[in-house]
Structure 1
Amino acid sequence: MEKKSTFGFTDFAENWNGRLAMLGLAIGLATELMTGKGILAQLGLM
């Protein structure tokens, strides 16, 4: 029986990576709309 890999470019890892990226983008846009500042301004970099 072959052991299933849980590290590297697996379908499982790529699915979670995509989901978390979409969630991060949505949270970033919502935060920008609520504060009126971009992410760099919120972090004090601009």
Structure 2
Amino acid sequence: MQTNKATELPPVAPAYNGIDRNAFLLGWKPQAELWNGRLAMIGFAAYLLWDLAGFSVVRDVLNLVH
């Protein structure tokens, strides 16, 4: 296996269960958890930008409660 000389780490992360880590696979597989985390991060960032633009679902719901 080839390593990066500066860090002594492999240049690419090893595969899970013999399959590429970035493969989009359905079912209960380690790759699904990686994609789930990535999509959740995109969702949180999108909501943060939406909130900073002045549209807030949470703020609107809290205003309805009062």
> With structure 1 as the length reference, what TM-score do the two structures score?
0.63
Q: How many residue pairs get matched?
A: 38
How far is the alpha carbon of 1:38 from its aligned partner? 2.5
Q: Distance in 1 between matches of 2:33 and 2:26?
A: 11
Letter in 2 for 1:39: V
- RMSD in angstroms over aligned alpha carbons? 2.3
Which of 1 and 2 has greater Rg? 2
Structure possessing the higher relative contact order (Cα contacts under 8 Å, 6 or more residues apart): 1
Is 2:27 aligned against 1:7?
Answer: yes
Unmatched 5+ residue regions in structure 2?
Answer: 1-18, 20-24
Residue 39 of structure 1 corresponds to: 57
* Fraction of identical pairs, as percent: 34
Q: Secondary structure at the match of 2:27?
A: coil
